[in-house]
Structure 1
């Protein structure tokens, strides 16, 4: 029960954008020997999801979202650095590969993707962030040029989701589908959408993106051995 209370307070710290309280909870979790990754996902991550819901329903302004997102980013960076500290030889996060990120053409939303980029970097991935409003053709061109392992695209508007589908089509037409693993994200995206367009993975938030990227790298290794 104590652990669940810790998670509740962690969620509240993110919703309230209270960075001092959030960092205090990380220290408390360490003293209680609570799994920090679980704290990140079930506590702080739950707060991050609540922020998204409040923003979507108009209960949170953009400045408030930006400020809270920065707190979440700092909390995530801190926890992942602790998990990936040099003295932990059995650390879950290890150098895995290169991820190319971009918000698709027609979409200027960049906050969520920026947090994902930071989280992946802290977790040990090399990240190439192309920014926002990036055409599918440019995404493919940069992926080939940089020989990345994973392509991650974000679409925050229903009207721009088609660009994610367009990228999958371009990969097939160029004979490059087997060369890259793809993952999608953004408010209107779902696991069903990812499956429908042929993407290899979907992540709901920055924390889950690390798990998905790690999973996709393992799948790619299996694919290359066939």
Structure 2
């Protein structure tokens, strides 16, 4: 466990060069890949909370995400053979009528660092495109819809309800963006909501583990 705690500390500190070696050391000591991954996810939760409260800013959060991604790279070969540890594919995009992608890109990086394979549909994604993407990709466990404008809230609602109303199953839908609230997420039928990129990664893992 001592090595996992070191991994967690170095992820929080964004030490991209140190994390892979520490992850390997933790494995050599007998720690399970899934436990190391969970430790890193927990670290990102702390990083996300600090970002939410303004204690750290985007550069620090990106460094932590990159550090975690380096650690996940070490774990991937071990988790590939164990489907219970594989988090699957996440389809992400910004809804129709919205051209903002900075927040989406940050969320994408964070969710990827948690161990997902990302498929980014970009911006201005029409409702039917989400359905096509789910059909085109294997093992889709999460669909992440982003909306940054108040005026595109109806498009977010349409996207979520189109996805949830389809005959497709086996995944959860998470939403986020500046004007989105937990209440609105519930109202439109989303499975989850995250107020920022840090908590999006944590929520993504939580949702998929409940499948």
TM-score of the aligned structures, taking structure 2 as reference length: 0.69
Q: Which residue of 2 aligns with 1:16?
A: 13
Q: Distance in 2 between matches of 1:134 and 1:157?
A: 11
Aligned-partner SS, 2:55: coil
CA contact (8 A) 1:168 1:177 kept: no
Q: Which residue of 2 aligns with 1:179?
A: 168
Distance 1:13 1:161, change over 3 A: farther
Match of 1:128 among 119, 124, 128: 119
TM-score of the aligned structures, taking structure 1 as reference length: 0.65
CA contact (8 A) 1:102 1:130 kept: yes
Structure 2: state its 5+ residue gaps.
none
Write the deviation string for residues 45-89 of structure 1: whole angstroms up to 9, x where unpaired: 1221122222222222322322222222222232233222xxx5x
Alignment of 1:72-111 (within 5 A): 72-84=68-80, 88=81, 90-93=82-85, 99-104=90-95, 105=98, 107-108=100-101, 109=103, 110-111=105-106
Q: Which runs of 4+ in 1 moved over 6 A?
A: 187-192
1:13, CA displacement in angstroms?
0.6
Q: Which residue of 2 aligns with 1:223?
A: none
CA contact (8 A) 1:165 1:197 kept: yes
Q: Distance in 1 between matches of 2:181 and 2:8?
A: 23
- Cα RMSD for the two superposed structures: 3.7
Match of 2:60 among 64, 67, 70: 64
Q: What is the aligned residue count?
A: 196
CA contact (8 A) 1:7 1:39 kept: yes
Q: Distance in 2 between matches of 1:212 and 1:183?
A: 9
Q: Which has the higher contact order (CA 8 A, sep 6+)?
A: 2
Distance 1:142 1:190, change over 3 A: closer
Distance 1:156 1:24, change over 3 A: farther
Match of 2:135 among 139, 147, 164: 147
Which one has the largest radius of gyration? 1
Q: Distance in 2 between matches of 1:95 and 1:63?
A: 26
Aligned-partner SS, 2:14: coil
Q: Distance in 2 between matches of 1:95 and 1:51?
A: 21
Structure 1: state its 5+ residue gaps.
122-126, 217-226
Q: Which residue of 2 aligns with 1:222?
A: none
Q: Distance in 1 between matches of 2:83 and 2:31?
A: 16
